[in-house]
Amino acid sequence: MKNVLGPEGPLVVDGVLYFVGWMGNTLSKWDGHRTTVLHTDPACGHNGLALSKQRTFLLACTDDPGAILELSLDGKLLRRWDTTDKGARFVGGINDIAVAPDGGAYATVFGPYDGVGPPGELMGKVLYLAPGAATWREVACDLNYANGVGVSPDGKTLYVSQTVSGSILRFAVGPDGALTHRANFALLDSLVPRRNPSPWLGPDSLKVDRRGDIYVAQWFGGKILKLSPQGKLLRVFRIAAGDGTTNVAFDAGERHLYVSVVKDARDPKAVGSVVRVENVR
């Protein structure tokens, strides 16, 4: 997919590629022949995308204050959340969403970002929606621009990327979805050389495969980093289509990666694409 305005949130469902455009405010699908826009909302800033156990989409709206949408596979709005269980708005914008093996879901709150200014107030959070619950609750706070989020295959570990600090955190997940034992999991500058001096160079969204390996998109880095559950760098996938890698998804057999990437991370229009690369083990 080319000429996507703010490519993000790739997701493969039943052989169909879904993706969003945060600058275009769209959710689209590509069936191998044509692209179809399924949902638009000019006040959303479509970002992370996840598939629930009910086979609906959970969509992150990154426009501040953010929102979380539940959509049918054909793009129909089923539900919208604008606040936590305490009535707090999603100030800082919702960035990414991941669904746990038990059907619960986690979402990240990012922070103030206009594409040109330096990082601002630390307001990153992790929110949790328990299986069958009606509201999201805060389970972690004071994160340095919380971005990607992923859950281990056994549901016992949560990974959260902090874009500005260039780090990925690890949490232990409790039976009620609560997070404990916050720890540093990976520091990107210790794994790969910095490609750009931008303070925004860091981990963007991430995904966890069936083996428990973590795939991290590096904004301003032009690459996907594959890490073991112990934080060891296993492989670097260099993405020729641009330096603004934002997210990654797998096909059904995890043989290929679908990578959303902005050609030039400094481009205010964030023009980019979704590309497919072989997932080398």
Rounded Cα distance between 275 and 266, Å, is 20
Nearest to 212 by CA among 157, 165, 131, 261: 157
Q: Is the pLDDT of residue 35 over 80?
A: yes
Q: What is the pLDDT of residue 125?
A: 98
Q: Is the pLDDT of residue 1 over 80?
A: no
Within 10 A of 143 (CB to CB), how many other CB atoms are there?
Answer: 26
Residues above pLDDT 70, as percent of the chain: 100
User: Which residue ranges make up each domain of the chain?
Assistant: 4-278
Rounded Cα distance between 115 and 278, Å, is 31
Q: Which CATH architecture has domain 4-278?
A: 6 Propeller (2.120)
Express each pLDDT in 135-168 by its tens digit. 999 999 999 999 999 999 999 999 999 999 999 9
CB 166 within 8 A of CB 201: yes
Mean pLDDT over all residues of the chain? 96
Express each pLDDT in 204-229 by its tens digit. 999 999 999 999 999 999 999 999 99
Q: Report angle CA 46, 81, 135 to the nearest 5 degrees.
A: 135
Amino acid at site 21: G
Express each pLDDT in 63-73 by its tens digit. 999 999 999 99
CB 232 within 8 A of CB 214: no
